[in-house]
Amino acid sequence: MSELKWAICHSEYIHKGPWATLRSDKCEMPDGRLVEQYYVLEYPNWVNAVALTTDNKILMVRQYRHAAGIVSLEIPGGVIDGDEEPAAAMRRELLEETGYQFDDIELLSVVYANPSTANNHTYCYLARGGVKVQEQQLDEHEEIVVEEYTIAEIKQLLAENKIAQSLHCTGLFYALIKLGEL
């Protein structure tokens, strides 16, 4: 499949920001055709987790997502900081967003949100045995409500299209398969 890969001839940054960077690549296709401007969004990599408490409830977070203008029901997750290991980032995000500590986390999948325009990927985890050890420690612009659901309730929410974040649906489906629920 390497014969499908494009060669980058030149890259130019149009915007560099803390959460997103936009660059334009000039590329050569395997057959020699040139793509003069191909825009790529550079984002940091992300983590998310289906987080099961000791009483087998799935922790979900509800928060406002400004770009879409929606209040979204999601699984906990966030940005990997610098050279942080993905599993460590996941434990940190779980603790910050929910106040729950998880020692047992398992990588389920690595997925791309939109590989045609964005370069980052998301590590999806299954976290088990969560115990509440502290209050939330939210970032400056975060307002997150933590909710608990049974596995049956999560399956119903998915069936009714009540979870809008595609990467989080993906993580939930992988976890439900792993748990023998699908």
Indicate the domain borders of the chain. Answer: 2-42, 46-178
CA–CA dist 126, 105 (Å, integer): 6
Q: What are the start-end ranges of the H helices in the chain?
A: 86-98, 151-159, 166-178
Q: Which residue has the tokens 């690595």?
A: 110
CATH superfamily of 46-178: Nucleoside Triphosphate Pyrophosphohydrolase (3.90.79.10)
pLDDT tens track, the chain, 182 positions: 678 999 999 999 999 998 889 999 999 999 999 999 999 999 999 999 999 999 999 999 999 999 999 999 999 999 999 899 999 999 999 999 999 999 999 999 999 999 999 999 999 999 999 999 999 998 888 899 999 999 999 999 999 999 999 999 999 999 999 999 99
pLDDT attached to residue 138: 87
Please give the model's pTM, rounded to 2 decimal places. 0.92
Dihedrals φ, ψ of 168, to 5°?
A: -80, -35
| Residues contacting 23, CB < 8 A, separation 6+ | 11, 12, 13, 14, 39, 40, 42
